[in-house]
Amino acid sequence: MGAAMAFQCSSFYTNVTVSALSYLPAFPPFENHYETVAFLKGFTARNASTASPFKGAVNVTETFSISADFCWPSRSHHGPPHGGPPYGGPPSGEPLDVQVLTHGLGFDKSYWNFYAESSEYNYINAATGAGYATLSYDRIGNGLSSIPDPYTIQQAPIELAVLEQLTIKLRDGTLDSCIRQPVRKVFHVGHSFGSALSHGVAARSPGLSDGVILTGYAAITLGGGPFAINSGLHLAKENQPERFGNHSTGSLTWGDELANQYSFLTAPYFDPKVLAYAEAHKFPFSISEFLTQGLIETNATAFTGPVLLMAADTDLIFCQSDCVGIVDQLAPFFPAAAPFQTYVQPRTGHGMNLHYNATAMYGVVNKFLKDHA
């Protein structure tokens, strides 16, 4: 059943310049998929080396083109119901509260309005219906944003710096001319790797965020090994050559829709048509962002805003398919959060937006923000 549309959007590109550490791989670039599988076997072996896969780090300064969508309620809760052109941007008026949406591995920004704009898998529709504006963007290496080197540049610390700079530009009004209203509050909403980055903002730059929503996440990646084994580290350029034939061998993916199901979905609580769509529209992850996620800062002792950790009950990647009792382990990372709350979504796998009960999850998130922010 479709959901009523309550928002308008503007799409744009913005340039973001960041300086961050680039970690230099201690292994050579892969030449073929035999080498990626050999790397995977060594990485997951019982006697796997505990040595770092990197041989050092250098500071780099890079400029990226970021593709983004800014969406706002058709009848804003924070501005007048009339005025302004229908598609040129939100009407001028009172300040907006904006949710910055960061997708995880295997997706682009369409994760937040998945499958069809009028479908029940549309988080943006739920957020704007609750009165928030949203900023969704393609992380580097995904969608329409810059495709950098997946070995040395598409790494977690650099992606965290990108999210911080996007937030700064959003707050100071320089992100894009389509955003006519001043921004009052900014909330960071992530999924999976995007949650790790949102967590990193709260830890490293707590003044940039007024609240954090972490979905498909538990910080402690108990199922990282099973996810890697299930993916098989297929070369994206060989798995979907028509889409990724020009990508480096450092861009990886899983093999097929059944592998997609294993990592992201829980049967029978999803529509097979949605799984097929997800597989056809997947995006690669880089070997180095997979290996550097653990380098993101997590100790958010100075963050005093509200934090909601929303886990899927059968999340493979973070909880090894059982999140009950796992999610509360994140509380020490946010000792000053007001409040810190957890919620486990039933009948749901890691790809939380892709399940039948996604709208229930959306309701919990937006009620939490209304109640505490």
User: What are the residue ranges of helices labelled H in 93-132?
Assistant: 123-129
Model pLDDT, residue 81? 33
Give me 272's structure tokens: 């097979």
DSSP state of 335: T
Number of H helices, E strands in the chain: 12, 11
Q: How far apart are CA 174 and CA 14, in angstroms?
A: 10
pTM of the predicted protein model: 0.94
Q: 315-332: buried (b, 16+ CB within 10 Å) or exposed (e) per residue?
A: bbbbbbbebeebbeebee
Query: Cβ(308)–Cβ(345) under 8 Å?
Result: no
Q: Which domains does the chain have, with CATH numbers?
A: 11-372 (3.40.50.1820)
Instruction: Determine whether 268 is exposed, middle or buried from the number of CB atoms within 10 Å of its CB (0-12, 13-18, 19+).
Output: exposed
Give me 308's structure tokens: 């909601």
Query: Cβ(372)–Cβ(306) under 8 Å?
Result: yes
User: What are the residue ranges of helices labelled H in 87-138?
Assistant: 123-129
Q: What is the DSSP string of 260-280?
A: HHHHH--TTSS-HHHHHHHHH
Report the amino acid identity of residue 327: V
Q: How far apart are CA 79 and CA 91, in angstroms?
A: 7
Report the amino acid identity of residue 36: T
Q: How far apart are CA 131 and CA 118, in angstroms?
A: 18
Tell me the pLDDT of the chain (373 aa) as tens digits: 445 567 899 999 999 999 999 999 999 999 999 999 999 999 899 998 888 999 999 999 999 999 999 999 986 444 433 333 333 456 556 789 999 999 999 999 999 999 866 678 999 999 999 999 999 999 999 999 999 999 999 999 999 999 999 999 999 999 999 998 899 999 999 999 999 999 999 999 999 999 999 999 987 888 899 999 999 999 999 999 999 999 999 999 999 999 999 999 999 999 999 999 999 999 999 999 999 999 999 999 999 999 999 999 999 999 999 998 898 889 999 999 999 999 999 999 999 999 999 999 999 999 999 999 9
Q: Residue 28, Cβ neighbours under 10 Å: how many?
A: 8
Query: Cβ(23)–Cβ(53) under 8 Å?
Result: no
Residue 15's contacts (CB-CB under 8 Å, 6 or more residues apart) are 63, 64, 65, 66
Q: How far apart are CA 367 and CA 360, in angstroms?
A: 11
